[in-house]
Structure 1
Amino acid sequence: MSSLLAISSSLVYLILADSVVALLLALICWGLLRWNTRCPVPFNRVYLACLLWALAASAVTLGLISLGGKQAVGPGHQLLASGWIRVAVLLDMLLGVALLWRLVPRGDGHRITLGNACLCVGVIAVLALIPLAGFSR
């Protein structure tokens, strides 16, 4: 019974943490999309796309952590040295582009362009990788 409570509380915490991360991602994406498309973009759809993206990224991260826990990796091991992590980052970025492109409309009823979705995901990836570059030295 206690393990069931621990698992359920961990899932609730994971969803709450992902919603906070998705809010930050959505604010960045919404600002970029409003600036780049020069027309109103609904924030709730941007938030939905970012929330789904953050939940999927958390699931992939948990899977990689459980997979990497079986391997003996020293503390000096660089994060992006593994091929699995590089593939996971690439698939995560492609998922983010697909979710933003398919779920976010512009104010005039059309979808945002694929280039705008790539711009948002690229900016978020750069902002996420800046702290990792400092830790890898």
Structure 2
Amino acid sequence: MPSGHTILETLAQLRRLSLPAPTPRDPEEARYVHPDSVVQALFPVGRPRVFVTHTRPEPFLGALRRLDTGPATTTALGFVNRGGTLDVPGLLFANRSTWAHVVDAAAGVLGEARGNLLSEAELAAVDGHGDPATILRPETGPASWSRPARTAR
């Protein structure tokens, strides 16, 4: 079985875009916000989406109201107020935002079976009853999704 990130990269076109303040709050701000036609060109309505943020996902979706196509096709991952770790991989795991959590969320909005994208061990880790190291080891997941460790000076 191919790994989830390989299937995801093949089946879905992954885009990393930055669109600051996509929903204007008042007429003055609307002068500086992209029009609906530009937003729809960057984020086509029929394309499922997974947003990952370092903040709480619920207010993030509220700020991105024009991009939220509903729970069947849009989901967001982010800070869930779980801690107890001092390293980045542990923090991502505690807040359910590792590469495997993203693949799992993508399976949901793509209508794909989770088991087609993640192994049993990866699913167990994502569900919180398996070994987290399964999805935290450097050799798992796309290398471009995490930063290399910094060395002390």
Q: TM-score, normalised by structure 2?
A: 0.29
Q: Which structure carries more relative contact order (alpha carbon 8 Å, separation 6+)?
A: 1
Structure with higher strand content: 2
Q: TM-score, normalised by structure 1?
A: 0.31
